[in-house]
Amino acid sequence: MNWYLHVLRNYAEFGGRSRRSEYWYFLLFNLIVAFALSLADSVVRKILGFGLLGMMYALVVLVPGIAVSIRRLHDTDRSGWWLLLAFVPIVGLVLIWFMAQDSDAGTNRYGQNPKLVIA
């Protein structure tokens, strides 16, 4: 939960690096919240005829999600432009491999290894 809140607090920080745990915990909690809002939307949709909770949440986490994805790519010494592969069918699956890779040891062109930074 701390990683999720950390990403939301640094919602517009596209520079630097993010650890695997920061990215994957953000993704996990994001999916949990989206699922819960989907259930709530189905109830609201039966009552009011429409449900906007899921869409509003998606808009709120859009920029933080892009930012943490770019920082995660930076951690593996790749440019954030690699994120555009998500729009290419089948080929975009390589992003899962990139996000699951371990950090580059030491300092790379995007900054110091976040595993070595003591907060």
Residues 101-113: tens digit of each pLDDT: 988 888 888 888 8
Q: Which domain holds residue 33?
A: 2-100
C-alpha span between 20 and 23 (Å, rounded): 5
> What pLDDT score was predicted for residue 119?
54
User: Does residue 113 form part of some domain?
Assistant: no
Q: How far is CA 84 from CA 19, 46, 97, in A?
A: 20, 37, 15
C-alpha span between 105 and 64 (Å, rounded): 25
User: Does residue 109 form part of some domain?
Assistant: no
The domain tally of the chain equals 1
Average pLDDT of the residues in 25-44: 92
User: Does residue 55 form part of some domain?
Assistant: yes
DSSP state of 108: B
Residues 6 or more apart whose CB falls under 8 angstroms from that of 94 comprise 85
Average pLDDT of the residues in 19-27: 92
User: Does residue 58 form part of some domain?
Assistant: yes
User: Does residue 84 form part of some domain?
Assistant: yes
State the chain's mean pLDDT as an integer: 88
User: Does residue 117 form part of some domain?
Assistant: no
User: Does residue 116 form part of some domain?
Assistant: no
User: Does residue 56 form part of some domain?
Assistant: yes
- What is the distance between the terminal CA atoms of the chain, rounded to a whole angstrom? 17
Residue length of the chain: 119
> What pLDDT score was predicted for residue 47?
80
